[in-house]
Chains A and B, each alone.
Chain A
Amino acid sequence: MSRCVAIINGDIFDGRKPSLFRGNVCIQNGEIFSIGDLPDEFIADETIDAHGCVVCPGFVDLSVYLREPGQEHKATIASETKAAAKSGVTTLCCSPETVPVIDTPAVVELIKEQSILAGFSHVIPTGALTLHLEGQALSAMHALKQAGCVAVSNGTRPVRDTLIWRRALEYATTFDLLVIVRPQDPWLTAGGCIHEGPVATRLGLPAIPACAETVAVAQILALVEETGARVHFSCLSTRRAVELLRSAQEKGLTVTADVAVHQLHLLDTQAEGFDPMVHVIPPFRSQEDREGLREALTEGVVSAVCSDHQPHEEDAKLNVFSATEPGVASLETLLPLMLSLVDQGVVGLPEALARLTRGPAGILELDGGILAPGNRADICIFDPEATWKVDEQSWWSRGRNTPFWGQSLKGRVRWTLVQGKVVYSAD
């Protein structure tokens, strides 16, 4: 594979320089050959004119539900990695909450094989933290790591026993595995489906208080202090949780966090009229919480933004609000919603892109997320001004469960390259 590709005239964000610059990216053998001027000796087999577009590292998404194996009626590895490629995502971590769960090397191998066969984005399976995700016994973390996992997590399933938590963190540390935690105290959550506040009170929906998250974060932070484990909090939703995180980082603890992109936009008020598309866990919270998340994003306390893509079949959302399955299909809205934050002045474009690239890559300790000679040529080329409508024609994910259905969004991926190969082209 000695194919040479030249991406010319783009505005490049390389993940290192603080601003974008006009130039060319040359690719050879699936790796980046040069950035800047076109080298005289470089003869391209294929030239991509990226005029008017941003050229940046492919996005690294820390939380995606692929639904395979076991829930192929919702989505498949092929369907969702294809949607990921269309969204500029070149590497994704898939949730261990499959059927069976990812607690054996066989399931890791299956997912890797299927994703290679599909030929779109790289998939890094996140291993189960506990056996069967039941929160009672440790998973075979060494075997999972050997099979290719770089992180373990219990996903949305609770680990009720704090001793198991401590042991799991210690054991993960033994193999230098990252532990991804979706912090939510199971007792305080108690069957809730919406943020506890005036909206839940008026609609009479069972609520999840903000303290369900902060209690869990505080508990894990205390255990991190004790164990020195490398912990990443996924999908934070409250101001108080990012405050706890900020002070833990100031103390020098090895803790990081991400936020789901829709959490930076939507509020609990969205549930008026019982729209099941906004049933998501953790729930959309108050304006104050959203401001807190946005501040943490700007500062870099939250160093990654994920899609937390959870595709569902139509029936999963055709029920009374609390009986519907939570989650939003959100890969394809990842970039437009980030660019909307840039338009609103919440964050600059380089910082926004860093939260989708260098930030999450750094959390996983991957080399990716930076465009530099010798690095794997995983690249996203997008038109920041192009608008598109979320509808049947434009949508690729099998799950159509998005609160943005029918809306026009700004920011469209034109090309996605994985290892120097074009895996998505809008034309």
Chain B
Amino acid sequence: MTTLQLDEQGRLRHFLTIEGLSRDWLIRIMETAQSFGSVTAQSVKKVPLLRGKTVVNLFFETSTRTRTTFELAAKRLSADVLNINLSVSATAKGESLLDTIRNLEAMFVDMFVVRHADSGAAHFIAQHVAPHISVINAGDGRHAHPTQAMLDMFTIYHHKQDFEKLKVAIVGDILHSRVARSQIQALKILGVSEIRVIAPETLLPASVTELGVRAFHNLDDGLADTDVIIMLRLQKERMQGAMLPSEHEYFQCFGLTEARLARAKPDAIVMHPGPINRGVEMDSQVADGPRSVILEQVSHGIAIRMAVMALAMGVVQRGAVA
């Protein structure tokens, strides 16, 4: 869908998926985020790049972390922010998605940040919005969560620099995970040496190896010699039953403990998109331990989202604040 998110001059119009973006684009997003790093650390945390612009956080699915970091990112760019939680409002009144979009468009907004339970929702909205509006995908169904993937890449970059040498393991509910799909695409584009997915067969999608990954059913084997371990949230609300017998058994087989972490390289980092289910995906010792970079991911989320918003609105040049 490169044509939908990039215009004829190759500029970012929407940010919908990692798929189809070049390595150069991913680097550009990270460099731009890097340049915002100083903004987020200074005492007055604002730049006037999006002054007078209106950003709408359009959340059809509840989320605290993602919505909050998008809101902060927009505010640090001096945009006006409107938070709309549609999981309880319009759809309950029977309004169609397109009608909701048309109504908001009529309020002269400039950007939609969209979270939706159905795959392809951000694409659909991008196809139907007025030409001056940018759409940022904040997670659609099982399809994509590109800003999460970028903040993860940014975090890896801070610790590891050279992507080509890395072995990365993604552990857990790959089947339902938009995060995993976007991460795999980003890691492939950045050219890591190996991507592994580790999960019980019930939580691996069909033909998963065609995504360019190696699949493991055994956590110890899968973690051996890895540089980066990404634990996924076990999305309990998405389970329709019969996928796992119990959280307890899941932790026994796929939970990350200090002992299992020892299988990875000594300097391996541990990541998690949050929120963590302690004692299900990982032990507290690991989550709060020296190898965990989970809170760094959160901070990087703000810088990455500022970068993506600024690039999509065309207010920054490569790597530098205009």
* A319→B121 CA distance, assembly (Å): 8
Residues of chain A within 8 A of B64, CB atoms compared: none
Consensus secondary structure, chain A interface: loop
Kindly state whether residue B83 has any CB partner on chain A within 8 Å: no
Asked whether A202 lies within 8 Å of B211 as measured between CB atoms, the reply is: yes
Kindly state whether residue B1 has any CB partner on chain A within 8 Å: yes
* A22→B205 CA distance, assembly (Å): 56
Residues of chain A within 8 A of B208, CB atoms compared: 201
Kindly state whether residue B144 has any CB partner on chain A within 8 Å: yes
List the one stretch of A48-56, A143-151, A204-212, A250-258 in contact with chain B.
Answer: A204-212
Nearest CB of chain A from residue B72's CB, rounded to whole Å: 27
Q: Which residues of B contact A (CB under 8 A)?
A: 1, 4, 19, 96-98, 116, 118-121, 123-124, 140-144, 178, 181, 205-208, 210-211, 240
Q: A320-B120, A323-B118 are in contact. Are A197 and B207 (CB under 8 A)?
A: yes
Asked whether B205 lies within 8 Å of A203 as measured between CB atoms, the reply is: no
Asked whether B206 lies within 8 Å of A197 as measured between CB atoms, the reply is: yes
* A203→B211 CA distance, assembly (Å): 11
* A102→B123 CA distance, assembly (Å): 39
Kindly identify which residue among A202, A207, A273, A320 contacts B118, using a CB–CB cutoff of 8 Å.
A320
Looking at A198, A203, A204, A206, which has the most chain B CB atoms within 10 Å of its CB? A204
Residues of chain B within 8 A of A386, CB atoms compared: none
Residues of chain B within 8 A of A205, CB atoms compared: 119-120, 141-143
* A147→B207 CA distance, assembly (Å): 49
Asked whether B96 lies within 8 Å of A315 as measured between CB atoms, the reply is: yes
Kindly identify which residue among B124, B144, B181 contacts A321, using a CB–CB cutoff of 8 Å.
B124
Asked whether A204 lies within 8 Å of B142 as measured between CB atoms, the reply is: yes
Asked whether B240 lies within 8 Å of A190 as measured between CB atoms, the reply is: yes
Asked whether B119 lies within 8 Å of A203 as measured between CB atoms, the reply is: yes
| B208 to chain A: closest residue by CB | A201
Kindly identify which residue among A273, A320, A322, A323 contacts B1, using a CB–CB cutoff of 8 Å.
A273
A: interface residue count bin: 20 to 34
* A372→B143 CA distance, assembly (Å): 57
Nearest CB of chain A from residue B115's CB, rounded to whole Å: 13
Asked whether B119 lies within 8 Å of A198 as measured between CB atoms, the reply is: no
Nearest CB of chain A from residue B22's CB, rounded to whole Å: 18
Residues of chain A within 8 A of B98, CB atoms compared: 318-319
* A246→B205 CA distance, assembly (Å): 31
* A315→B94 CA distance, assembly (Å): 14
Nearest CB of chain B from residue A318's CB, rounded to whole Å: 6
Residues of chain B within 8 A of A201, CB atoms compared: 205-208, 210-211
User: Can you sample 26 A-B contacts with CB below 8 Å?
Assistant: A196-B206, A198-B207, A198-B210, A200-B205, A200-B206, A201-B205, A201-B208, A201-B211, A202-B19, A202-B181, A202-B210, A203-B120, A204-B143, A205-B119, A205-B141, A206-B142, A273-B4, A273-B123, A315-B96, A318-B96, A318-B98, A319-B96, A319-B97, A320-B124, A322-B120, A323-B118
Kindly state whether residue A175 has any CB partner on chain B within 8 Å: no
Asked whether A274 lies within 8 Å of B123 as measured between CB atoms, the reply is: yes
Chain A residues numbered 169-219 whose CB sits less than 8 Å from any CB in chain B: 190, 196-198, 200-207, 209
* A315→B178 CA distance, assembly (Å): 27
Residues of chain B within 8 A of A204, CB atoms compared: 119, 140-144, 178, 181
Looking at A196, A207, A319, which has the most chain B CB atoms within 10 Å of its CB? A319
* A273→B205 CA distance, assembly (Å): 19
Nearest CB of chain B from residue A420's CB, rounded to whole Å: 48
* A207→B176 CA distance, assembly (Å): 12
Interchain residue pairs A-B with the least CB separation, the first 7: A204-B142, A274-B120, A204-B143, A201-B205, A198-B210, A320-B118, A198-B207
Chain A residues numbered 320-344 whose CB sits less than 8 Å from any CB in chain B: 320-323
| B240 to chain A: closest residue by CB | A190
Residues of chain A within 8 A of B207, CB atoms compared: 197-198, 201
Nearest CB of chain A from residue B186's CB, rounded to whole Å: 14
Q: A204-B143, A205-B143, A319-B96 are in contact. Are A274 and B124 (CB under 8 A)?
A: yes
Chain A residues numbered 31-85 whose CB sits less than 8 Å from any CB in chain B: none
Residues of chain B within 8 A of A209, CB atoms compared: 206
The interface bits of chain A over 255-282 (1 if a CB of B lies within 8 angstroms of the residue's CB, else 0) are 0000000000000000001100000000
Residues of chain B within 8 A of A323, CB atoms compared: 97, 118
| B4 to chain A: closest residue by CB | A273
Residues of chain B within 8 A of A190, CB atoms compared: 240
Nearest CB of chain A from residue B214's CB, rounded to whole Å: 15
* A209→B205 CA distance, assembly (Å): 11
Residues of chain A within 8 A of B178, CB atoms compared: 204
* A400→B181 CA distance, assembly (Å): 34
| B97 to chain A: closest residue by CB | A319
Nearest CB of chain A from residue B100's CB, rounded to whole Å: 11
